[in-house]
Structure 1
Amino acid sequence: MSQENALHGRWAVATFFFVNGFMVGSWAPQIPLLVARFSLTETVLGLLILIFGLGAVVAMPMCGWLISRHGSRAVTRVSGVLCACSLLAVALAPGMPTLIAALVAFGGLLGGMDVSMNSNAVVVERRLQRAIMSSSHGFWSLGGFVGAGVGGVLAEQWGHLAHAGAVTVVALVLVFVAMPKLIVERKPAATGSGGLSGFPRSPLIYLTGIVALFSMAPEGAVLDWAALYLRQEMGAGLATASLAFTAFSGAMALMRFLGDGVRNRLGAVTTMRVSGIIAAVGMLGAGLAPSPAAAILAFALAGLGIANMVPIAFSAAGNQPGISSAAGMSVATTIGYSGMLAAPSVVGFVAERTGFTPIFIGFAVLLGVVLLMSNLVRPADDIAEQPAPSASASG
């Protein structure tokens, strides 16, 4: 494959990252409206978010197995089309049973698309022989920034259904434009363990997944609860409340576009440590903020710190020695997204009894633990050492 085609594939997979983030960001302003539509308490909403997360956690290893048989491009294309339509299904749900089914599908498609596009990004990294993971996640954050920022205004003015319909149209257009340019592996990726599950035996990949989990759990808390925190505990309006995730995602996008250069200069381990300190300070500030404006600024600082932590963990997972990128990415994303998509359900249960302040302080402590585990991401520096031909075969 020519360098030009590899560059086209790089921008194609970036578009899928943007669409996935756009769908997640568009979900954020729908949450307060969902609470109003179904008169949900924090505990019930937390359980629904848990169901949403379980859909993703179940889908991720399944998609890792599908990638091993059909390649990351095929799975990315199918999951991208279906994911683009999934928020509309949530908005159309007339009752609790259909809402639960729609949330399971929405979470599963977001998770499956995430595994496949990250696996495809590793293929592109190896074809280009340079890091693109942080900037790819930058497009995810940019999508979240646009989805949450524009979505807060549109949802407030148009209502939940028209907003979801507009999101679906935009996402489908972007997916169909990018689909033809995605890189295809020369052969489907081997799982590296031979069984249906495709689970690697090395304990290092599971510890790397825990690093991803501890980095992503605060991100999930900001996505699912920051708007409600500002609205219920600080009296902010819907548009202002949605700015919490907007500022978080915008700061993440900015830093992620700079992240590949920062990582090349400092190395993965040092970048992870510096990022963890910044993220912990931001989450602590959000929990102690005296006003919505201060909380929004603190969430932005947390976004700057968390920005490169997840891409570095994923790149380390995709470049583990002796493990195919599909198998490594499947494990890391499954463990990591269990933090982003499932752990915030616990927040709802706790917040109903304690408020959000101790929760965000607790996440600051969790980010501190990542500092102690930062040596585990050293394989993220080994992209240039991977030979391109074998990498393209392993996906």
Structure 2
Amino acid sequence: MTDRVLNRTRRRVSIVFAGHGAVVGAFATRIPWLQQHLGLSESTLGVALLAPAVGSFVAMPFTSRLVHHLGNSRALTCLFPLWCGSLILPAFSPNLPALCLALGIFGATSGMTDVLMNAQGVQVEQRLQRPIIPSLHGMWAVGGLVSSGCGALAAGADIDARLHFTVTAALLAGVGLLATRHLPEAEPTEARQPPPRFALPPLSTLPLGVLGFCAVFAEGASGNWSAVYLTSTANASEGVAALSYTGLSFTLALARLASGFVVTHLGPVRTVRLSGGIAALGGTLVVLARTPPVAISGFALIGIGVAVVLPLSFSAAGGHGGDPSRNIAGVATITYTSNLLAPAVTGAVADATSLPAAFVLVTAFAASPLFLASTLARPVQSPGRERQNEPQQADLSS
């Protein structure tokens, strides 16, 4: 495959990542509409918002079976429009049970699409022989930021979420179909037995999953509690408190987009160790912060610190040997459990002690890549490419 074709393929995969993030961004901005439309209390809404994580957790282990039958790119072409279409379901739900079912489907299609697009990205990364997964995740963040901005405008203009979601889903599904056409399939390797219908995460991916889990925990806890922290601990107004999440999201996107240069020169292990140090500094600032500028700076540094850990975990899992989609699904299943645990655990610790004390725990998770980065140093076993990749892998892991 020529460099021109590879670069075109990378652009197509980047569009898929941005589109996935755009669906999430659109949904996030209209959650208040859903709450008001169905008359849900905060506790009831909280229960409903667990459904996407549960649906994703249940569905992702089925992804490798789908890839075995269709191939990764064809499965992505089929599933991406379904993921976009699932955005419409919550807005048309007439009651809480229907909303939970709709959000479960939303999460299931999201999780499977997530695995497929990361597997596609790993395939392109291996052919380009340079790190691109973090920048693809940066495009996901950019898509989310742009879409959430459009969603905020739609909400401000009092546009019905049913119309907003329908138009957004149709546009993104169309763009996704164009982007996923003619994506290359993985090169055929040795004959393998069909994976089980429900493929549990391979044990070999557990260390990578733990590394990703810690980063996602810190990101999830910070994203959910940053605004509350600023208002309750740093005495900020609600308008200023909103800047904490904006700062976190912006630095996540910026760090991921700029990470290719850093990973190429430092290697994934050193990059993740550096990231852990930055995240630990950010968490320490948050714990000590009693004024808005210090707290916002701390959350921004946490965003920089955790930005590349999960993408590099996916990249390592995809090149770990065996079935890339199953490996990535294994890491994703472990890491995305943090989305279920992080907000609740942080809140429980804060209730028992204080919010700064809870962020001591968050800081410990954020700093863990300092000690777990060596899991990325495992040699990549890419069938048919061992001899080509050995020198590069040795350089990246130094």
**Gap change, CA 1:86 and 1:280, over 3 Å in 2:** farther
2:180 is matched by which residue type in structure 1?
A: M
- SS class of match (1:248): helix
How big is the shift at 1:314? 1.0
Query: What is the alpha-carbon distance in structure 1 between the residues aligned to residue 151 and residue 293 of structure 2?
Result: 20
User: Does the 8 Å contact 1:315/1:380 carry over to 2?
Assistant: no
C-alpha RMSD of the superposition? 3.4
Alignment partner of 1:236 out of 226, 235, 238: 238
Query: What is the alpha-carbon distance in structure 1 between the residues aligned to residue 189 and residue 46 of structure 2?
Result: 38
2:169 is matched by which residue type in structure 1?
A: T
1:324 counterpart = 2:326: no
1:22 counterpart = 2:13: no
1:368 counterpart = 2:367: yes
Length, aligned pairs only: 386
Superposition TM-score, scaled by structure 2 size:
0.84
**Gap change, CA 1:227 and 1:386, over 3 Å in 2:** farther
1:183 is matched by which residue type in structure 2?
A: P
How big is the shift at 1:171? 1.9
Q: Which has the larger radius of gyration?
A: 2
Query: What is the alpha-carbon distance in structure 2 between the residues aligned to residue 190 and residue 350 of structure 1?
Result: 50
- Could you tell me which runs of 5 or more consecutive residues in structure 2 were left unpaired when the two chains were aligned: 390-398
User: Does the 8 Å contact 1:282/1:302 carry over to 2?
Assistant: yes
User: Does the 8 Å contact 1:267/1:381 carry over to 2?
Assistant: no
User: Does the 8 Å contact 1:88/1:165 carry over to 2?
Assistant: yes
How big is the shift at 1:244? 3.8
How big is the shift at 1:241? 5.8
- Could you tell me which runs of 5 or more consecutive residues in structure 1 were left unpaired when the two chains were aligned: 391-395
Partner of 1:253: 253
**Gap change, CA 1:107 and 1:138, over 3 Å in 2:** same
Query: What is the alpha-carbon distance in structure 1 between the residues aligned to residue 355 and residue 206 of structure 2?
Result: 30
How big is the shift at 1:137? 1.0
Query: What is the alpha-carbon distance in structure 2 between the residues aligned to residue 175 and residue 185 of structure 1?
Result: 20
**Gap change, CA 1:296 and 1:101, over 3 Å in 2:** farther
Partner of 1:173: 174
User: Does the 8 Å contact 2:63/2:329 carry over to 1?
Assistant: yes
Superposition TM-score, scaled by structure 1 size:
0.84
1:182 counterpart = 2:170: no
User: Does the 8 Å contact 2:55/2:108 carry over to 1?
Assistant: yes
1:173 is matched by which residue type in structure 2?
A: G
Query: What is the alpha-carbon distance in structure 2 between the residues aligned to residue 213 and residue 33 of structure 1?
Result: 31
User: Does the 8 Å contact 1:46/1:348 carry over to 2?
Assistant: no
Partner of 1:218: 218
Of structures 1 and 2, the one scoring higher in RCO (CA 8 A, sep 6+) is 1
Which aligned pairs between 1:1-395 and structure 2 lie closer than 5 A?
1-38=1-38, 40=40, 43-159=43-159, 161=161, 162-187=163-188, 194-199=195-200, 201=202, 203-226=203-226, 234-237=236-239, 243-286=243-286, 289-290=289-290, 295-320=295-320, 322-341=321-340, 343-347=342-346, 356-379=355-378, 386-387=385-386
**CA deviation vs aligned residue, 1:124-173 (integer Å, no higher than 9, x gap):** 11222222111111111111222334433432333561443443244223
- SS class of match (1:340): helix
**CA deviation vs aligned residue, 1:64-91 (integer Å, no higher than 9, x gap):** 2212332211221222111212233222
- SS class of match (2:186): coil
**Gap change, CA 1:280 and 1:267, over 3 Å in 2:** same
